[in-house]
Structure 1
Amino acid sequence: MHKAPTAAMPITTEERDFFIALGERIEQFRKTRGITQAQLAETLGLTQQTFQSYESGRRRIPVSAMPAVARALSVSLEELFGEQDSSARKRGPAPKWQKQIEAIAQLPKAKQQFVAQVIDSVLAQAQR
């Protein structure tokens, strides 16, 4: 016997609202870090069009992709889902390098690229 194709499960209003809000948070994190949709899509192995449909809430982001999205945006899954990250509050002040990364994200693109080149240079020398 052949299996009948499985129909897509309808999405509830609550689920639709969740994915729209998730897309808005992703967009906010992405823009704060000075990352374009194309850059993030490439990092995640997606087309920009697919990523844009996730960010706009038109398509649901697969659960299996959530950890990669969080890592690419340097946020916890809790932050990605809009929850307070209780572990971050308990750890005390952010490490110096984390503050530096946040400061770099606020720089103009050209200066961000310069900092990235310097870091790449230092890391390449350290691996020799």
Structure 2
Amino acid sequence: MGKRIQPATAAAAAPASFGERLASLRKAAGFTQVELAAELGISQRMVAYYESPAATPPANLLPQIAAALGVSIDELFGVGAPKRRLAKQEGDSRLRRRLLAIEKLDVADKRQVLQLLDAFIERGQLKRKAESRT
């Protein structure tokens, strides 16, 4: 008698636990554990704990996690069809997250950061202009 072959299902391919799904979604979004922790205002150890097989985050943290990863809460739990993600944008996602954090600063701090960025941009433009003349 031959072995029975189990049909492959979509559920078999999906990560089995909440933690595995969270880790997979985090990596797909381009976050390290440290970066996701900073985004959520928790420690990296808590992110690692939530990615373990037997843990789930508290309910009040789920909307923040879903928003940070660009998914629905249903997708975090593997229920229903995945929400269609926006195409990954070109460029450095770490830089993009930092720029979003700058937007949340108060007006005076934001002004200082922008002045510093303007100085670096101007210096770079002057360098390129000088190099093109030589």
Q: TM-score, normalised by structure 2?
A: 0.52
Pick closer, same or farther for the CA change 1:114–1:73 going to 2, 3 Å.
Answer: closer
The structure whose Rg is larger is 2
Residues 1:24 and 2:4 aligned together: no
Amino acid of the residue matched to residue 38 of structure 2?
E
Q: Spell out, residue by residue over 1:50-85, the C-alpha distance to the aligned partner (whole angstroms, 9 max, x if none).
A: 110111135331011111110010001111110123
* Alpha-carbon contact 1:76-1:85 (below 8 Å) kept: no
- 4+ residue runs over 6 A deviation: none
Q: Report deviation, 1:30.
A: 0.8
Q: Distance in 1 between matches of 2:44 and 2:53?
A: 14
Residues 1:39 and 2:35 aligned together: yes
Q: Supply the RMSD in Å over aligned alpha carbons.
A: 3.0
Q: Spell out, residue by residue over 1:63-113, the C-alpha distance to the aligned partner (whole angstroms, 9 max, x if none).
A: 111111100100011111101238x5xxxxx69xx22xx254xxxxxx425
Q: Distance in 1 between matches of 2:47 and 2:94?
A: 27
Q: Distance in 1 between matches of 2:23 and 2:68?
A: 12
Amino acid of the residue matched to residue 56 of structure 1?
S
Identity fraction in percent? 31
* Alpha-carbon contact 1:25-1:80 (below 8 Å) kept: yes
Aligned residue among 63, 67, 80 for 1:67:
63
Paired position in structure 1 for 2:128: none
Number of residue pairs the alignment of both structures matches: 86
Unmatched tracts of structure 1, length 5 or more: 1-19, 89-93, 105-110
Q: TM-score, normalised by structure 1?
A: 0.54
Unmatched tracts of structure 2, length 5 or more: 1-15, 104-109, 111-134
Paired position in structure 1 for 2:49: 53
